[in-house]
């Protein structure tokens, strides 16, 4: 399994927002400007799936631009787009806000299969299984995901944006490798704090943690304690 960490940061900071390309065929989250930052690493002809964790701009806002890339490719197979319920409705609204007033659901289904989840579902897809896990992020609905590829022994979890909640605990306990939001210094309702992340690292010593969704302050002051991947880094299991 290959995970390209395209970005490791969060909104208001210079580095790219957190998103991933998995095995060259899966995009996980499409934050603002992610289409630019993915360009050195992505071949849109190979993309089969797009996963969205939630609808904040730093996880969702470039989805319409990703669609524009995919609509122009030679490969005419539909791409499966998976995310929380209301995904299709929000995508249509996004297009219309951006001056595409006639855009509608029919324009989406020509190129994409939209799969909306409530959380807790386990999907068997092409060469892998994935579970959507509801996590707490002070929004209407937010997911983390656990992936298990047929050719890889490890379960790999992505927390999305999450505080310390039952969903995050499930992702950690069921995964061997975890890409985990660690965006806060102080404990709060939106993101995991540094101390909480360090406590989890001590508790689950056999698991591999990568701390993402970083602020400049955390990167500068806690990089020796946290395992923060570089933007553009390729990690293989």
Q: Any idea how long the chain is? A: 237
* SS3 category, 155: strand
- Integer angstrom CA distances of residue 40 from 4, 44, 145, 232: 11, 11, 25, 9
For Cα atoms 94, 95, 96, give the angle at the middle one, nearest 5 degrees: 90
> What class, spelled out in words, does domain 2-236 have in CATH?
alpha beta
14 or 196, greater pLDDT: 196
What are the residue ranges spanned by the domains of the chain?
A: 2-236
User: HSE (CB half, 13 Å, CA atoms) of 147?
Assistant: 27
pLDDT of residue 135: 98
How much is the pTM? 0.97
Residue 99, pLDDT > 80, answer: no
Mean pLDDT of all residues in 209-215? 97
Residue 101 reports pLDDT greater than 80: no
The pLDDT confidence band at residue 115, using thresholds 50, 70 and 90, is: very high
pLDDT band per the 50, 70, 90 thresholds, residue 102: confident
Angstrom distance (rounded) from CA 26 to CA 176:
20
Residue 86 is predicted with a pLDDT of 96
Phi and psi (nearest 5°) for 47? -70, 130
Q: What is the mean pLDDT of residues 20-24?
A: 98
8 A C-beta contact, residue 189 and residue 165: no
pLDDT of residue 98: 87
Mean pLDDT of 124-139: 97
């Amino acid at each position: 399994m290959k995970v390209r960490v395209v970005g490791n940061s969060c909104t208001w900071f210079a580095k790219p927002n957190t998103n991933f390309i998995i095995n060259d065929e899966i995009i996980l989250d499409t934050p603002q400007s992610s289409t630019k930052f993915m360009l050195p690493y992505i071949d849109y002809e190979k993309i089969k799936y797009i996963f969205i964790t939630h609808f904040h701009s730093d996880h969702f806002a470039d989805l319409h631009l990703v669609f524009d890339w995919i609509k122009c490719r030679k490969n005419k197979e539909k791409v499966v787009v998976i995310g929380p319920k209301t995904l299709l409705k929000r995508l249509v609204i996004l297009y219309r806000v951006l001056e595409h007033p006639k855009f509608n659901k029919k324009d989406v289904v020509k190129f994409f299969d939209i799969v909306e989840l409530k959380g807790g579902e386990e999907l068997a897809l092409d060469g892998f299984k994935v579970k959507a896990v509801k996590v707490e992020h002070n929004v209407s609905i937010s997911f983390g995901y656990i992936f298990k590829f047929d050719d890889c022994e490890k379960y790999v979890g992505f927390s999305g944006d999450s505080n310390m909640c039952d969903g995050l605990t499930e992702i950690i306990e069921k995964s061997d490798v975890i890409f985990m939001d660690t965006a806060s210094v102080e404990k709060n309702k939106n993101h995991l704090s540094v101390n909480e992340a360090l406590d989890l690292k001590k508790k689950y010593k056999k698991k591999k943690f990568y701390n993402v969704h970083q602020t400049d302050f955390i990167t500068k002051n806690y990089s020796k304690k946290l395992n923060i991947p570089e933007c553009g880094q390729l990690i293989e299991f």
